[in-house]
Amino acid sequence: KRTGRGRLKVAGASSGDGASAPSLRVQLLDLLDADSRGEFELLYQPIIGADGRVRSVEALIRWNHPDRGQLTPDHFIDALIHSGRIEGVGRWVVSTAVRQIEEWDAIGLGGLSININVSPGELAHPGFCSHLRTTIAESSIDPSRIRIEITELALAGTFVPTAMLDDLSNIGARIVLDDFGTGVSSLSHLRVKSLSGIKIDKSFLRHAADNIVDRGIVEGMIALAHNIGVDVTVEGVETRDQAHWLASTGCEAMQGWLFSRAVSATDVPNIAAQRFDMPHSEV
């Protein structure tokens, strides 16, 4: 029976609620074995180009918890990171995602790219790039179809050595800056060698309809990205009005519930065969 979504707390997290300690331990133990029990699943959310075609899908992890149903990453990603389990799960994510687009190629879907989220700690781990390299080499996938989404936190300070980013681009994978404009924003992060794209965070869209400042920031970020030759995906597109406005900004791609939620792998072929009705752009 599904008992709904509970928030998973980690030792060392802000809450000092001792009363919840026993259940906390159980939850953490659950998480440590979730991997071996095969409880993780990747869902895929389409990213739509200006022509209305699906150009890529973003792999988004879910935990199919035996009692609580399907949990989104905000319930467990931090716990994975703090318990040191993220590297192993991240390797599973990479392997699964690459195998998946190979399978889609095999059924004639052809040419889909895949966006893979990588947390700063994973990327800083020396094993990450070698696993990615091996996985791609053992597959039939052109590395440029792998789009590694990193956040600005990965680039802040010396969290991830430049050599690791060089490794990534030497492999031939694309580097995309996720949640752009939030967190530890510094425009110097755009100097990252071989940056291929940015994803504008969905928080900028929430009030875009009635907030001229948010609209101006989004339009400015898109112009900035284009000035340095990287492409732009806007995430969190939920309304036709937003899509209509964004089409006029010249962003390359949109992602959001207006088009599709994250779906299971078996639902992707149908969605990828579709041509989405995009508001007309100036092209």
Q: Does 123 bind ligand C2E (CB under 6 A)?
A: no
CA distance 73 to 77: 5
Yes or no: say if 253 and 276 are a contact pair by the CB < 8 Å rule.
no
Closest approach of Mg ion to the CB of residue 166, in Å: 22
276's tokens: 């989405």
For Mg ion, how many residues bind (rule: CB under 5 A)?
4
Nearer to ligand C2E, 129 or 282 (CB): 129
Q: What is the DSSP letter of 278?
A: P
3's tokens: 């008992």
**What is the contact mask toward Mg ion in residues 102 to 141, using x (rule: CB under 5 A)?**
---------------x------------------------
CA distance 152 to 40: 26
- Nearest Cα to 131, choosing from 144, 140, 122, 142? 122
Q: What is the DSSP letter of 140?
A: S
Nearer to ligand C2E, 19 or 151 (CB): 151
2's tokens: 């599904």
Phi, psi of 83 (to 5 degrees): -95, 5
Applying CB under 6 A, among 159, 238, 239, 276 the residue interacting with ligand C2E is 238
Q: Does 178 bind ligand C2E (CB under 6 A)?
A: yes
Q: What is the DSSP letter of 35?
A: T
CA distance 83 to 34: 13
Backbone CA torsion sign across 262, 93, 194, 186:
positive
Closest approach of ligand C2E to the CB of residue 84, in Å: 14
Applying CB under 6 A, among 73, 172, 181, 279 the residue interacting with ligand C2E is 73
Largest CA distance in the chain: 60
Nearer to Mg ion, 58 or 87 (CB): 58
Going by DSSP bridges, is the β-strand pair 113-117/69-71 parallel, antiparallel, or unpaired? unpaired
Region 124-163 residues binding ligand C2E, contact defined as CB under 6 A: 149
264's tokens: 């299971």
27's contact among Mg ion, ligand C2E, none, with CB below 5 to 8 A by partner kind, is: none
Closest approach of Mg ion to the CB of residue 68, in Å: 22
Closest approach of ligand C2E to the CB of residue 107, in Å: 23
CA distance 276 to 48: 8
Nearer to Mg ion, 179 or 231 (CB): 179
CA distance 257 to 151: 22
Region 180-219 residues binding ligand C2E, contact defined as CB under 6 A: 202
Q: Does 78 bind ligand C2E (CB under 6 A)?
A: no
Q: Does 50 bind ligand C2E (CB under 6 A)?
A: no
Region 135-164 residues binding Mg ion, contact defined as CB under 5 A: 149
Q: Does 236 bind ligand C2E (CB under 6 A)?
A: yes
Chain residues binding ligand C2E by CB under 6 A are 45, 59-61, 72-74, 77, 93, 117-119, 149, 178-179, 202, 235-238, 255-257, 262
Interacting residues with Mg ion (CB under 5 A) = 117, 149, 178-179
